[in-house]
Chains A and B, each alone.
Chain A
Amino acid sequence: MLKAIVRPRRIRWGRVVAYALLLLGAVVVIYPFFYILMNSFKPGTEILHSPTRLPTHWVITGYRLIWSQLNMPRLFGNSLFLALSVTFLNLVLDGLAAYALAKIPFPGRGPLFAIMLGTMMIPGILFLIPTYVLMYRLGWVPGFQALIIPGAVSVYSIFLLRQFIQQIPTELVEAARLDGASEPGIFFRVILPMSRPALGTVAILTFMGSWNDFFGPLLYLNKPELWTVQLGLYQFQTTVPGENAEQIWAAISVITAPLVLLFFLLQDQFMAAFANVRFK
C-alpha cells in the first residue's frame, strides 16, 4: 500500500488505489450521516426491523414527537443565547487584551504574557470541583451566568489574536495616535477591522465549542428551562433497546444540521481555524 502512496505517478494502478481508498474513507464518514437522515424519516417499527434500508414509508413522526416532547424553540434559544453571548464577549474582551499585549508596551507586559502562556497548559480537570463549589456558593447554579462569565475570556483566543495583531504595522497605530485618536478609538477603528480573519477564527472556535459543549451545561444548566440542545438530545439516550428510536434520529438531525450547514458555507475559515491550532 505504501509504495502505491509514495509513487503514484509511476504506476497508474497507484492512482486507482489511492482514489479507491479515499472514496472508502469518504463512505465511512458519510454513511452514519446518511443513516441518521434515513432513519429520521421512518416509522418506529421500520427503524427497529430494517434499520439499514431506505424508508418504505416516508414519515415525520420522529420530528413531530421531539417537537411535542421537548420545547425545541426553548432549547435552540438557550443554545444560541449561550453561544452568541460567549462569542461576543470573547471577541471584544480577548481583542482588547490582545491589542494591549501586542501594541501597548506597559510595564509588566512580559511577565503577564508568560503567565498566560503557562495557564494554557493547565488541564481543565483542575478547575472542575473548585469552580463548581465557587459557583454553588455564589448561588449561580443553575444559571447561564455560571457558563457565560467565566467563559467570557479565553487565553487561547487572546494568544491567537495577539499573534495576528502583532503583524499589523506599528506605524499605522502610531499614525492614528498622532492624529489624536484615543486608544479605544484605535482599537475599534483600526485594529478590529484589520483583524477580521483572526476574529473569524476565534468566533468559529468559540461558537462551536459552546454549541457542542455537554459537560458545562450538564453541571450548570441542569434544569429543563435552561437545557441546551445537547442536553435535550441526551434525554433520549436510554439503555432500553428500541425506546425513543424515532426521537433520537430526528433530534440528531435537527441539532447537527445547522452546524454542518455552517461548516459547508464557511469551510475555508473552519479549516484555517483548526489548522492554526497550537497547544490548546
Chain B
Amino acid sequence: MTARAVMKQAARHRWGYVFIAPWVLLYLVFGIYPLCLSFYLTFFDYNFINPGDQAFMGLGNWAAGLTDPLFWHSMFNILYNQVIFIGLTLVIGLGIALLLQSVTRFGRLFRTIYFVPTVVSIVVVMSIGGYLVTPGGPLQGYLLQSGLLDKPVFWKSELWLSMPILALINTWKWFGIETVILLAGLLAIDPQLHEAAAIDGANGWQRFRNITVPMLNPQIFFILVMNGINGLQMFVEVYMNFDLYGGMYHQALTPVLYVYAQAFDKSNMGYASTLGLILAAIIAVITAAQFRFAQREIE
C-alpha cells in the first residue's frame, strides 16, 4: 500500500471512531458507570437525600436481601403471573395464528385489529382493564346476571386472584404481537411437509404435534426469552392498581415494585441496589438456562 492510501485509510478509520463516539460515551456514562455504582452501593446503607452519612455495611445488604421473605414472595408472585400469562398468550396467539393461516379473506383486517392493543400504553390498558373487571363493572355485571358468578369479586384484595387478573389484562394487550410472530413462523413452514405427512396417513393433530410445533420452536423460544427478560420486571401494572407493597397480602408485590418501594419509600438505596442485582442475576440464570435448553433441543 502506498503512503497515501495508508493515510486515507487512517482518515477513514478516524471517522469510524467519531461516528461510534456518541454511543460509546453515553454508554460509559449511563451504562458502565451506573453498573459499577450499583455494585458499590450494595455495600452501603445509602440514602441519597443525605449522601454524607453513608455507613459501610459489608455484605449486610446481600445477606439481608437473599433471606428477605418479602423479596422471595415477590419472586413467587411474578412467576405465578408469568406462568399464567405465557400460557395464555402462547395458546391464544398460536390458536389465532392457525385460524388466520386457514382463512382466505379478511385475514389482514383481523390481524390489524388484534394488533391495536400493542400500540396502546400500559397506563391506558390498566385503566380500561382494571375498570372492566372491577366489581360493579360491565364484565362482572354480566357474569352475575347470567348466574356464572354468585357474588361480586373484589379482585384487588383477593390473595390468589390479583395476579391471574393482571395476567388476563396483559394477555389482551400482548397476544396480537405473538400472533404476528407465530404467523410469520407458520407461513415459513414448507407446505410440502404437511402434504407428505398427510399422504403417510398422519391426522391433523399428529401433523400439528410433529410438524407445526417443532418448526415453530425458534419463534416460541424467542417469545419465552423476551418474556423472561421483560415480564419478570413488571412494574406499572402493579404500581397503578395496588399500594407500594402489593396489596394487603402482598399478593401483587413484584420484585421491581419492591425495589422501587425500598428505594423511594424507605430511601434504602443500597438495599434496593442489592435487590436489583439479585433480580438481574436470577433473570440472567433463567435466560442462560433457556439458551442451554434450546441448544440441547437443536442437538
**A residues near B, CB below 8 A?**
1-3, 5-8, 14-15, 18-19, 21-22, 25-26, 28-30, 32-33, 35-36, 51-52, 93-94, 96-97, 99-101, 104-107, 109, 112, 119, 121-134, 136-137, 149-150, 152-153, 155, 158, 177, 182-184, 187, 208, 211-215, 230, 233-234, 237, 241, 248, 252, 255-256, 259-260, 262-264, 267, 270-271, 274-275, 277-280
Contacts and interface: CB of A to CB of B under 8 A. Distances in A.
The number of chain B residues touching the other chain, given as a range, is 35 or more
Nearest to B24: A112
A122 B99 contact: no
B28 to A, nearest CB: 11
A97 B205 CA distance: 48
A183 B286 CA distance: 43
Q: Which of A35, A112, A133, A263 has the most CB of B within 10 A?
A: A133
B111 A271 contact: yes
Contact of A279 (B99, B106, B110, B222): B222
B245 to A, nearest CB: 15
Secondary structure of the B contact surface, majority rule: helix
Contact of B35 (A14, A127, A237, A255): A127
Contacts of B222: 278-279
Contact of A18 (B102, B205, B263): B102
A28 B16 contact: no
Nearest to B206: A6
Contacts of A32: 128-129, 132, 172
Given A133-B41, A271-B180, A123 B279 contact: yes
Contact of B115 (A35, A119, A234, A263): A263
B6 interface: no
B266 interface: no
B108 to A, nearest CB: 9
A119 B280 CA distance: 13
A128 B95 contact: no
